[in-house]
Amino acid sequence: MPTKRQSDGLLLAANRRARHEYHVLEKVEAGLVLTGTEAKAARTGKVQVVDGHVELRRGEPFLVGVHVAPYTHGNRENHDPERPRKLLLRRRQADRLIGQLETKGVTAVPLRLYLKGPWIKVEIAIVRGKKLYDKRETERRRELDREAREAIKQVQRRHPS
């Protein structure tokens, strides 16, 4: 059962690996076309967005590679867990997304899936892949920040004001 609260809704699934693997250029919020059993399974947190990406089919963006586990109380009409799901975007957002996806070296991946009111939304990021040295630099910077925070905490513990 999802429990983590975000400022704009209940977080159902997150793609933490995306920020390590890619440079995030831009973010877009989109709705999803889901069947009834998909929506119920997603609301219980049975979603994995790590391997997902956006593909263009007949000029429309689709979310591919996202796994929504079959609903436990679903019957024989349960959904296919790996089926492509259409993204719901405004025309200008869709045109902009399509234009950016046609750029070489740029792709779109889901960052997180969350509830916003009664709706299930997905945050799509326009990304460019990181090189190995970029990943090492990010990791090094994160480690230095962690050490600096620890040093500040140590000083504050010794000298409380």
CATH number of residue 119's parent domain? 2.40.280.10
Q: Domain check: are 116 and 144 in the same one? A: no
Cα–Cα distance for residue pair 51/124, rounded to 1 Å: 13
Do 19 and 31 lie in one domain? The reply is yes
Please, what sign has the CA dihedral across residues 8, 10, 15, 16? positive
For the chain, what is the mean pLDDT? 85
| Residue 4: pLDDT band with limits 50, 70, 90 | low
Q: Assess whether 135 and 101 both reside in one domain.
A: no
Task: For residues 52 and 124, state if they share a domain.
Answer: yes
Residues 121 and 136 in one domain: no
Give bridge partners of residue 26 from the DSSP assignment: 126
Rounded mean pLDDT of 63-81? 81
Same domain as 77, residue 58: yes
- Residue 14 confidence (pLDDT): 86
pLDDT of 40-61, one tens digit each? 888 888 888 888 888 888 888 8
DSSP class of residue 140 equals H
CA 53, 115, 7, 145 dihedral sign is negative
If one counts the domains in the chain, the total is: 2
- pLDDT tens digits, residue range 133-143? 778 888 899 89
DSSP 2: -
CB 111 within 8 A of CB 15: yes
> Closest Cα to residue 30, out of 125, 103, 129, 98?
125
| Same-domain check for residues 59 and 71 | yes
104 lies in the same domain as 137: no
Residue, of 8 and 124, whose pLDDT is higher:
124
Residue 68 shares a structural domain with residue 146: no
Structure tokens at 160: 């409380």
Domain that residue 145 falls in = 131-161
User: Which helix (DSSP H) or strand (DSSP E) does residue 97 occupy?
Assistant: helix 91-101
